[in-house]
């Protein structure tokens, strides 16, 4: 096999080139056309010329953002690459998208041209309307056993209209591909990336395939505007190819270049970016671009190569400008038959998987002979550039080191935050345990209050029966009456236990209840101690609505506030002790107010009463009841717990949201 490359100027020169190389005498001819002239009329005329000169040839063509021929990089020119195969047959197809469905186009192409002896497929798609990632997914749905390469068409950075074409068809919404079928053909592909992430990581918060709406809940366009500046943002999508977003997939970085700005805050990228993806901006690192790694050089040296095609990202040419040719030096040591184009996205095969790349230089090496390539003379020669790039190299290095330091700082900060959060969770778990112990003590104390009267009554009744028996004054009717009383007292004791057990039983399920029932259940527990301390409870219920919430947890909060009010009223020996409880609805909020006439809370400490371990009860208090009450209301139930002083005393306000109703 052999490849003949020509910079196309006119029909006569092309005709003479074909004749001088005896190309008409061959049958298996592949013509790749890379044109920087995106005019449809120009392409149609070129198709006619090629069909007339080489009617037996298979043609696949694309518009570009620059053309490659030998050691030269051109713009707004046309390069025609003519490959003559000896033992390879060709099968090509052009398919236009139906309903903009790139996935189905990929499936149709693979189903139509791939056979058992297909060694490689070269595919070009339009660069505006095609979702490159979906196109490759569709292809992979049919087969993952052939080497696939190529790229997305360009239009000199205008991002308005691109074309791909065959010998007799052309489209700006579709793809063309050719299968290389052979038992002897050797095909290999590799790539260079060299774009590095910079700055902070962002999270994609809304996207649909390759259209990104928000990143960190900010419109995608505004994020570019914020970090690149308003002037550069106005140049989107063109500038978006030079400053792509990169996604980390395992150990690999996948770049996604911006291809379109719908003018609604969203941006359209060359491939899919999913909700939840962590992304960063990326920049070209001049140090890595202008040097060849040993592994890259070894790959080129150790694979057979009679001809070599390059499908490279437009960002590399635009970033390196006139020095972009330096990337071609090692390749020209392998073969003189080099051609290709600068793309809006590159197709690449790795481990039976097809990837859409951006910012890369991909290389396809073909040979019908089993001899490896020449030794590379220009190893590490890309770093030998003019002093013009010294400043750019220094800036690249500064940006890289600074970015790495920032990432390490963020990583360490996130690790520190995670450790502190875990400490806080452990503290809260400890507080919860202490709260339960305190509540258990209060429960036992209240049970004792509730049981004191019936136990005294049982004791008195039993003593009376014992005395009657001792005096020999046995009266069956009297004994039966007294035993019935003891039975009633015992039932009361059992009912009290059930009431307390149900009240303090933990629950993780929300229940639909009224605020008034919650309050009445809490007051039922407090009946005896409130009565013993001559505390009057006044109720003003104005909200019969039911809400869905964590009922037992809210009851604990109500009970805790009432118990605190009781303690204050008793401790301060208030005359005419009162606790008032009011419910009402305000908009979409359900509110409980609990206030007392105990004189209020010292203004010097009122802002601290919800702090953990802060208590005004001296030795009697744990300082965790109100802290846990605030956590229950605000963290668990998404409400609000507040306190303020009134003329008579303290007022606690519990606000629960409509969202649970």
What is the average pLDDT value for the chain, to the nearest integer? 84
Same domain? For 549 and 568 the reply is yes
Which CATH number fits the domain that encloses residue 480?
1.10.287.130
453 contact partners, CB below 8 Å, separation of at least 6: 528
Q: Residue 450: which of 525, 372, 545 has the closest Cα?
A: 525
pLDDT tens-place string over residues 180-199: 999 999 999 999 888 888 87
Q: Which two tokens stand for residue 82?
A: 């003519």
Among 189-198, 205-214, 237-246, 555-564, name the most confident range: 205-214
Same domain? For 442 and 579 the reply is no
Choose one of 369, 385, 401: the last residue of a domain.
385
Choose one of 483, 505, 527: the last residue of a domain.
505
Among 291-295, 375-379, 465-469, name the most confident range: 465-469
Percent of all residues in the chain with a pLDDT value above 90, rounded to a whole number: 47
Q: What is the pLDDT of residue 661?
A: 46
- At how many degrees (to 10) do helices 515-532 and 390-470 cross? 50
Same domain? For 172 and 314 the reply is yes
Q: State how far the Cα of 613 lies from the Cα of 615, in Å rounded to an integer.
A: 6
Top-confidence residue, 428 or 576: 576
Q: What is the pLDDT of residue 217?
A: 95
Q: What is the pLDDT of residue 345?
A: 92
Which CATH number fits the domain that encloses residue 522?
3.30.565.10
Same domain? For 59 and 181 the reply is yes
Q: Residue 360: which of 195, 248, 196 has the closest Cα?
A: 195
Among 229-238, 346-355, 613-622, name the most confident range: 346-355
Instruction: Judge whether residue 440 has pLDDT over 70.
Output: no
Top-confidence residue, 6 or 524: 6
Instruction: Judge whether residue 322 has pLDDT over 90.
Output: no
3-state helix, strand, coil in the chain (%, to 5): 40, 30, 30
Top-confidence residue, 461 or 33: 33
Same domain? For 371 and 392 the reply is no
pLDDT tens-place string over residues 69-101: 998 999 999 999 999 999 999 999 999 999 989
Rounded average pLDDT over 161-177: 97
Q: With the CA atoms of 646, 652, 657 and 661 taken in that order, what torsion angle do they form, in degrees rounded to the nearest 10?
A: -110
What secondary structure letter does DSSP report for 372? B
Q: Which two tokens stand for residue 488?
A: 């009633």
Q: What is the pLDDT of residue 459?
A: 78
pLDDT tens-place string over residues 615-631: 665 544 444 468 778 88
Q: What is the pLDDT of residue 623?
A: 41
- Do residues 176 and 147 touch, judged by C-beta distance below 8 A? no
Top-confidence residue, 437 or 24: 24
Provide the domain limits for residue 226. 195-284
Q: What is the pLDDT of residue 622?
A: 41
Radius of gyration of the chain (CA): 41
Q: Please state the domain count of the chain.
A: 4
Same domain? For 244 and 317 the reply is no
Instruction: Judge whether residue 135 has pLDDT over 50.
Output: yes
User: Residue 626, class by beta-carbon neighbours within 10 Å (0-12 exposed, 13-18 middle, 19+ buried)?
Assistant: buried
Top-confidence residue, 284 or 281: 281
Same domain? For 204 and 161 the reply is no
Same domain? For 42 and 183 the reply is yes
Which CATH number fits the domain that encloses residue 255?
2.40.10
pTM of structure = 0.62
Q: What is the pLDDT of residue 168?
A: 95
Same domain? For 426 and 352 the reply is no
Q: What is the pLDDT of residue 531?
A: 84
pLDDT tens-place string over residues 354-400: 999 988 899 999 999 887 656 666 554 444 544 555 555 555 555 66
Same domain? For 117 and 204 the reply is no
Same domain? For 444 and 547 the reply is no
Q: Assign 277 a pLDDT band (cuts: 50, 70, 90).
A: very high
Same domain? For 329 and 476 the reply is no
Q: What is the pLDDT of residue 398?
A: 59
DSSP 584-637: EEETTEEEEEEEESS----TTTGGGTTSTT--SSGGG--S-HHHHHHHIIIIIS
Choose one of 258, 284, 310: the last residue of a domain.
284
Percent of all residues in the chain with a pLDDT value above 70, rounded to a whole number: 83
Top-confidence residue, 582 or 324: 582
- Do residues 339 and 81 touch, judged by C-beta distance below 8 A? yes
42-56, 124-138, 228-242, 335-349: segment of lowest average pLDDT: 228-242
């Amino acid at each position: 096999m052999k490849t003949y490359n020509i910079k196309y100027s006119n029909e006569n020169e092309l005709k003479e080139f074909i004749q001088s190389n005896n190309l008409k005498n061959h049958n298996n001819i592949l013509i790749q056309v890379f044109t920087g002239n995106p005019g449809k009329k120009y392409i149609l005329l070129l198709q006619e010329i090629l069909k007339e000169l080489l009617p037996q040839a298979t043609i696949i063509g694309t518009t570009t953002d620059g053309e490659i021929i030998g050691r030269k990089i051109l713009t707004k020119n046309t390069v025609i690459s003519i490959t003559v195969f000896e033992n390879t047959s060709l099968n090509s197809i052009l398919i236009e998208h139906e309903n903009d469905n790139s996935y189905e186009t990929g499936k149709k192409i693979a189903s139509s041209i791939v056979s058992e002896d297909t060694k490689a497929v070269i595919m070009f798609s339009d660069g505006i309307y095609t979702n490159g990632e979906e196109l490759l997914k569709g292809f992979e749905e049919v087969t993952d056993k052939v080497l696939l390469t190529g790229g997305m068409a360009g239009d000199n950075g205008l991002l308005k209209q691109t074309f791909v074409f065959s010998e007799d068809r052309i489209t700006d919404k579709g793809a063309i591909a050719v299968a290389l079928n052979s038992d002897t053909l050797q095909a290999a592909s590799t790539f260079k990336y060299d774009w590095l992430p910079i700055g902070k990581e962002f999270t994609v918060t809304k996207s649909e395939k390759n259209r990104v709406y928000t990143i960190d809940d900010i419109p995608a366009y505004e994020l570019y505007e914020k970090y690149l500046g308003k002037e550069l943002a106005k140049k989107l999508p063109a500038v978006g190819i030079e400053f792509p977003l990169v996604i980390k997939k395992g150990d690999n970085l996948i770049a996604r270049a911006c291809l379109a700005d719908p003018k609604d805050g969203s941006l359209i990228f060359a491939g899919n970016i999913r909700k939840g993806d962590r992304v960063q901006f990326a920049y070209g690192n001049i140090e890595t671009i202008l040097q060849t790694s040993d592994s890259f050089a070894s790959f080129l040296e150790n694979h057979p190569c009679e001809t070599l095609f390059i499908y490279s990202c437009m960002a590399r040419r635009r970033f390196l400008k006139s020095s972009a040719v330096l990337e071609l030096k090692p390749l020209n040591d392998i073969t003189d038959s080099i051609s290709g184009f600068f793309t809006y996205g590159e197709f690449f095969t790795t481990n039976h998987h097809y990837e859409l790349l951006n910012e890369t230089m991909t290389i396809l090496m073909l040979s019908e002979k089993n001899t490896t390539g020449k030794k590379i003379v220009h190893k590490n020669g890309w770093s030998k550039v003019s002093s013009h790039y010294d400043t750019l190299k220094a800036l690249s290095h500064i940006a890289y080191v600074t970015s790495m330091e920032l990432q390490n700082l963020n990583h360490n900060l996130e690790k520190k935050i995670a450790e502190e959060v875990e400490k806080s969770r452990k503290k809260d778990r400890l507080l919860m345990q202490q709260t339960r112990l305190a509540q258990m003590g209060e429960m036992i104390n209240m049970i004792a209050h509730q049981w004191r009267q019936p136990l005294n009554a049982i004791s008195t009744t039993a003593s009376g029966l014992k005395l009657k028996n001792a005096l020999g004054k046995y009266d069956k009717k009297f004994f039966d009456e007294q035993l019935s009383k003891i039975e009633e007292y015992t039932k009361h004791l059992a009912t009290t236990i059930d009431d307390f057990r149900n009240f303090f039983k933990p629950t993780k399920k929300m229940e639909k209840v009224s605020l008034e029932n919650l309050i009445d259940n809490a007051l039922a527990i407090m009946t005896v101690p409130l009565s013993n301390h001559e505390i009057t409870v006044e109720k003003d219920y104005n909200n019969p609505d039911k809400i869905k919430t964590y009922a037992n947890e809210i009851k604990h909060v109500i009970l805790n506030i009432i118990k605190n009010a009781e303690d204050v009223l008793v401790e301060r020996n208030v005359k005419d002790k009162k606790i008032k409880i009011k419910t009402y609805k305000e908009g979409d909020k359900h509110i409980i107010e609990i206030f007392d006439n105990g004189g209020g809370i010292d203004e010097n400490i009122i802002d601290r009463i919800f702090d953990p371990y802060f208590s005004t009860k001296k030795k009697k208090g744990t300082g965790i009841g109100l802290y846990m009450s605030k956590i229950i209301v605000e963290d668990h139930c998404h409400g609000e717990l507040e306190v303020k002083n009134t003329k008579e005393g303290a007022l606690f306000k519990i606000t629960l949201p409509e969202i649970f109703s």
